[in-house]
Structure 1
């Protein structure tokens, strides 16, 4: 028999941390973003108006479900709807669903969530799924007014092998050579860092300073862009550094960090989480050199995989695409309730899917017509060959 219980915090002294970790390790494709250290940092960074509700499932004394959910309000088309997200959104790059329940008990879990947390939309982002296995979340689709399983991204991954002892071939080889020559010419040095908890704070401060003046800082899209995210990153990475899970490679000039890659390492898989560089050193090509340093470090310490923890779904510029040996998919699951707000929001989604192809076609035609018109305006006019008329000068 499965029994369920609700908790209001992961930080409570009586939270079953050891049972949670045992469950995490039993779930295929678990990541450091599922760890208590990361999730507690996420709880501590919740915004005003957001509330945490943790649904636990037990079979005897063994935890078989841990689903930390955050309720809040979001705007869609100018209207506010109550939504539920997995704790960690949107800073957690890849999550596994910490569940060992069968389909029937997962259906019961959905009923409990709807009873305790009335909502229009329940959305779980960046979920990875074991290859060849059907997700138990498919049951939730069948019991929702509208359900959507949408691809978030295809993440490039690199399997570390003996071939990596040799220099990479093709165009990346010449890009790496040029970057190394520039770096050697200016006297910068590559450094590997495995921080512990006491050293993590000063290291994060150095990384924050680089990001602040990079394009990520200018556009406000970095992991340290807000006070909330700074608090989250400091708490999370300090906790994970205490477990020996943090790795950093930096490029330093005159003792100052000018470029870095920040990653999380667990069970031989390195998640390349974030990078930034000083704009005045953009021409060094440091990102590619530091990515190659990840691979060399992996060879030295027998890591198995280097992953881009998340990329854009389209037009991704992550440099691991040059070295990838495979891809992993992240999915976004959306479940719309049977409440009036859920029915309305679900109807809006279905309407958008119906209208979107026509809108995209119209935009493409408009762009094509605009391009054709601009081309016509800028092309030189053909001289007239009509008898008695002088050739026209191109405007």
Structure 2
């Protein structure tokens, strides 16, 4: 095995092989728009001062076969503070492929080089699609780790766009869609499709960021535009993608004001439904389903193949694509614990937790709920309000 490994301190370095990177990204079927160099360069620009970026690049027979932009920082796990290495883009990128097309036997050398250059306790990869991941690489890393864990992080609903989608959906969603359309028509709002470019994306992002700020995401400060760092990242990233024609938006507008939106990234026939929000004062319109339906109709008009929810909560997901999904995309979190003392300790703590967690859960379920003692005066008032009396 002959492979040359090189480290770069930035994706913006003058000698970084940008064109070869894009060729590698297009060559691998699992890559997504979140692997786009413009997206990752925006992620690099938004890195906090306490995180270090190092990009590992590998060539085999003169061809780029590996590019791993990695960030290292300190994270706390209970009483332990350890060095953790992640793929650049965490936590704002939904699905990032590992750009690795390695010759046989190269995987162990890649891991050895990462551990040499970026000593760490934990190497963690998020939102990895198992069937599209480089199994040879990840299997070799698992065998060379003190502890390895693969955990399901989310099950993403996806919908295959077919000709039958021109007909109304059946069941309860049909009536919800009809009611939403009637309310939208009654107030005079209109749905608009937008394909922004680099010159128009900023004003559109201003509009949707204002909607997000008014929504619960803004109140809870969990939106993609919350905070100067995230806002910088999203503006720079979507500007880069819009310049390549990869951004799609569906907007619900009233008199030129955006009331609701769905913001997506499109590539290889698949629209990734990345973000949405609505103005709370217009929540009764039910715009979410209408805009999701607009994705599907747009796909029918332009020959798209898939609507992809991109990422959802593992439990109690409320994404409306569940109502019409034709499949699920399972995404995993992969954790590789090193043989350094900190990695061994962290891995041991994980194994102990996995062993005793079921017992703790059983104890919690068996623990009786304490009885609530209600004072007599309060009980009498409650009985009067409910129309009952114990007398």
TM-score > 0.5, shorter chain as reference: yes
Give, in angstroms, the shift of residue 363 of structure 1: 2.1
Name 1:307's counterpart in structure 2: 308
Query: Secondary structure, in 3 states, of the residue corresponding to 2:20?
Result: helix
Do the aligned partners of residues 243 and 131 (structure 1) sit closer, same or farther apart at CA in structure 2, a change above 3 Å counting? closer
Could you give the per-residue CA deviations for residues 28-72 of structure 1, whole angstroms, max 9, x where no partner exists? 221000110110000001101111111111112211010110010
Name 1:370's counterpart in structure 2: 369
Name 2:358's counterpart in structure 1: 357
Name 1:221's counterpart in structure 2: 222
Asked if the contact 1:56–1:67 (Cα under 8 Å) also holds between the matched residues in 2, the reply is: yes
- Separation of aligned partners in 2, 1:346 and 1:64: 31
Asked if the contact 1:102–1:136 (Cα under 8 Å) also holds between the matched residues in 2, the reply is: no
Do the aligned partners of residues 205 and 337 (structure 1) sit closer, same or farther apart at CA in structure 2, a change above 3 Å counting? same
Asked if the contact 1:28–1:130 (Cα under 8 Å) also holds between the matched residues in 2, the reply is: no
Give, in angstroms, the shift of residue 376 of structure 1: 12
1:291 correspondence with 2:292: yes
Give, in angstroms, the shift of residue 271 of structure 1: 0.2
List aligned pairs for 1:115-134, cutoff 5 A.
115-130=116-131, 134=135
Query: Secondary structure, in 3 states, of the residue corresponding to 1:287?
Result: helix
Query: Secondary structure, in 3 states, of the residue corresponding to 2:202?
Result: helix
Name 1:390's counterpart in structure 2: none
Do the aligned partners of residues 278 and 108 (structure 1) sit closer, same or farther apart at CA in structure 2, a change above 3 Å counting? same
Asked if the contact 1:103–1:136 (Cα under 8 Å) also holds between the matched residues in 2, the reply is: no
Do the aligned partners of residues 210 and 132 (structure 1) sit closer, same or farther apart at CA in structure 2, a change above 3 Å counting? closer
1:248 correspondence with 2:249: yes
Give, in angstroms, the shift of residue 130 of structure 1: 2.9
Give, in angstroms, the shift of residue 103 of structure 1: 5.5
- Separation of aligned partners in 2, 1:60 and 1:160: 41
- Separation of aligned partners in 2, 1:101 and 1:287: 43
Query: Secondary structure, in 3 states, of the residue corresponding to 1:175?
Result: helix
Which range moves more in the overlay, 203-212 or 100-109? 100-109
Could you give the per-residue CA deviations for residues 95-139 of structure 1, whole angstroms, max 9, x where no partner exists? 111101146211110000001111111101111233698453011
Unaligned ranges ≥5, structure 1:
381-392
Asked if the contact 1:28–1:96 (Cα under 8 Å) also holds between the matched residues in 2, the reply is: no
- Separation of aligned partners in 1, 2:374 and 2:127: 46
Query: Secondary structure, in 3 states, of the residue corresponding to 1:198?
Result: coil
Name 1:91's counterpart in structure 2: 92
1:5 correspondence with 2:6: yes
- Separation of aligned partners in 1, 2:282 and 2:79: 42
- Separation of aligned partners in 1, 2:344 and 2:17: 37
Which range moves more in the overlay, 78-87 or 229-238? 78-87
Unaligned ranges ≥5, structure 2:
380-388
Length-normalised TM-score, structure 1: 0.93
Query: Secondary structure, in 3 states, of the residue corresponding to 2:348?
Result: helix
Name 1:394's counterpart in structure 2: 390
Q: How many residues align?
A: 381
Asked if the contact 2:97–2:133 (Cα under 8 Å) also holds between the matched residues in 1, the reply is: no
- Separation of aligned partners in 2, 1:76 and 1:82: 11
Name 1:389's counterpart in structure 2: none
Could you give the per-residue CA deviations for residues 274-322 of structure 1, whole angstroms, max 9, x where no partner exists? 0000011111110110000000000000000000000011111100000
- Separation of aligned partners in 1, 2:64 and 2:330: 27
Name 2:384's counterpart in structure 1: none
Length-normalised TM-score, structure 2: 0.94
1:24 correspondence with 2:1: no
Name 1:152's counterpart in structure 2: 153
Name 1:278's counterpart in structure 2: 279
Asked if the contact 2:72–2:86 (Cα under 8 Å) also holds between the matched residues in 1, the reply is: yes
Name 1:234's counterpart in structure 2: 235
Do the aligned partners of residues 374 and 299 (structure 1) sit closer, same or farther apart at CA in structure 2, a change above 3 Å counting? farther
Could you give the per-residue CA deviations for residues 218-237 of structure 1, whole angstroms, max 9, x where no partner exists? 01110011111000000000
Name 2:76's counterpart in structure 1: 75
- Separation of aligned partners in 1, 2:104 and 2:188: 59
- Separation of aligned partners in 2, 1:132 and 1:148: 15
Asked if the contact 1:155–1:310 (Cα under 8 Å) also holds between the matched residues in 2, the reply is: yes
